[in-house]
Amino acid sequence: MIVMKFGGTSVEDAKAIKNLTEIVRKELPRRPIVIVSACSGITNQLLLAATLASQGKKEEALNTVAAIEARHKRIAKELFEGDILRFLNKHLTSVGEELTALVNGVIVLGELTHRSLDTFAAYGERISSLIIHHYFEQQRLKSFWVDARSFMITDDQYTKAVPQFEVTERKLREIVQPKVNNGYVVISQGFIGSTPSGVTTSIGRGGSDYSAAIIGALLDAEDIQIWTDVDGILSSDPTVVKDARKIKVMSFNEAAELAYFGARVLHPETILPAVKKNIPVRVLNSKNPGSSGTLIVSKPKTDKRCIVKSIAYKEGITLVSIVSTRMFLATGFLENIFDVFHKYQTVVHTVATSEVSVTATIDNTKHLAQIVRELKAFATVTVTDRKAIVCIVGDNLRNSPGLAVRMLAPISDVNINMISQGASEINLSFVIDEDSVDDVVLRLHAELFANAGNFPEIFE
């Protein structure tokens, strides 16, 4: 059995759905479970409708709902005719009515909870998967549609709910496995789940990759395929670096580090379940299915050489510099600092320390004011926003003499606020002004990948 996950652009219109169907057909002998995202842009529109409603902008909210309904009806019209088209139109009309009722509810209440946001957002995947299921059937694929909320059981941290693996595995084995065994292509949704008591949740933006990985790992898939709109994981974000190279093979660690530091192509949590079961993950291009994509495995067969694989970046970073108000490093200084971040559930991405000072980077500034207030009890604190982390990833980077020089030489005129290397063997990262990110990434890429052609087994 394999899991095939198709992202937003891979299900964006009738043409994409036809294309996806042929990709799935080729894999029928491997018994695919197909996990889909909402059509591209739809999750944003659903959340926009909810937000407009919470601001009392009824007409704009309802126009957004109408646009969502119309987009799906257009897709259905291109794919179907007769009874099935009538059925889907009726269904989409009632989805429009349900969303209208939700909009009105939010307007009356004048508040929008995270729980409501998840209810809105879940419609995207629910609709796209249903359309695709009917298209599979029309194309004579033996298809079985499952509502992911029946098996993906999560806690109730709405908008970023945490899947509960034990019960999810039990449900998957009860509901999904028998259908796969009976030769059905199971089609279901990424991103959404439900609490044990049945309230709709979502596992965070971009979470469909994670859904696919969980399903694959819990059901011991042979392969987890992430179908997207680029040829695989590239040496940098192709929207910035037009000539980014495709990476053929990389390690789980490298992929996790890249995802964590901003490479949107893979949700950061995707790798974990796959690592635990040692299931290879493949990133593939639905617009170019002939390409071999990127293979992510625990230990790539490539050697122990240190080769920079990719450059990622993360914008919207805030630097918090904390200097002890005592002259000497008081015991417990670091502990006190991290206790404060922990208390406010704020993740620290990178840290640099000297004897009496610590610089930490964060991107969640929701509790920044409280954090600073508490830190000021024992330190002076300076906060600088609009920063970015640039992160260079490659196995064995720590053992690479001269890399720091190679990395910094092409950007010697750039003011670097902080550098961090060594914590992980595979990541070297530094913090700069957000405004210079594109320029820095381009210059670094030109320098670090000038010789990529010498490694045909790694880059394409």
Contact positions vs Mg ion (CB under 5 A): 7, 206
Which partner, ligand ASP, Mg ion, ligand ADP, none, binds residue 147 by CB below 5 to 8 Å per kind? none
- Structure tokens, 161: 């709910």
**DSSP symbol at 162:** P
SS (HEC) of 41-95: CHHHHHHHHHHHHHCCCHHHHHHHHHHHHHHHHHHHHHHCCHHHHHHHHHHHHHH
Q: Which residue has the tokens 């219109």?
A: 13
Contact present, 81 and 121 (Cβ < 8 Å): no
Which partner, Mg ion, ligand ASP, ligand ADP, none, binds residue 128 by CB below 5 to 8 Å per kind? none
Pick the closest to residue 255 from 239, 232, 276, 277 (CA basis): 232
Shortest separation between residue 219's beta carbon and ligand ADP, angstroms: 21
Strand-by-strand arrangement of the 281-285 sheet: 143-145, 185-189, 32-36, 2-6, 223-228, 281-285, 294-297, 249-251
Closer of 200 and 208 to ligand ASP (Cβ): 208
Which of helix, strand or coil describes residue 293? coil
418 binds ligand ADP (CB under 6 A): no
Judged by CB under 6 A, the stretch of 7-15, 149-157, 192-200, 371-379 that binds ligand ADP is: 7-15
Which partner, ligand ASP, Mg ion, ligand ADP, none, binds residue 236 by CB below 5 to 8 Å per kind? ligand ADP
Shortest separation between residue 9's beta carbon and ligand ADP, angstroms: 5
Written as one letter, the residue type at 279 is I
9 binds ligand ADP (CB under 6 A): yes
* Per-residue binding letters, 217-246, with ligand ADP (x by CB under 6 A): -----------xxx--xx-xxxx-------
Which partner, ligand ASP, Mg ion, ligand ADP, none, binds residue 207 by CB below 5 to 8 Å per kind? ligand ASP
- Structure tokens, 139: 């194309």
**Binding residue (CB under 6 A) for ligand ADP from 7, 193, 268, 300:** 7
CA 450 to chain CA mean position, Å:
29
Extended beta strands in 176-222, E state: 185-189, 192-194, 200-202
264 binds ligand ADP (CB under 6 A): yes
Q: Under the rule (CB under 6 A), what is the footprint of ligand ASP?
A: 7-8, 37-38, 43, 124, 190-191, 205-208
Angle between helices 42-54 and 58-79 (to 10 degrees): 160
- Window 338-397: residues binding ligand ADP (CB under 6 A): none
Closer of 79 and 391 to ligand ADP (Cβ): 391
Closer of 363 and 425 to ligand ASP (Cβ): 363
Which partner, ligand ADP, Mg ion, ligand ASP, none, binds residue 230 by CB below 5 to 8 Å per kind? ligand ADP
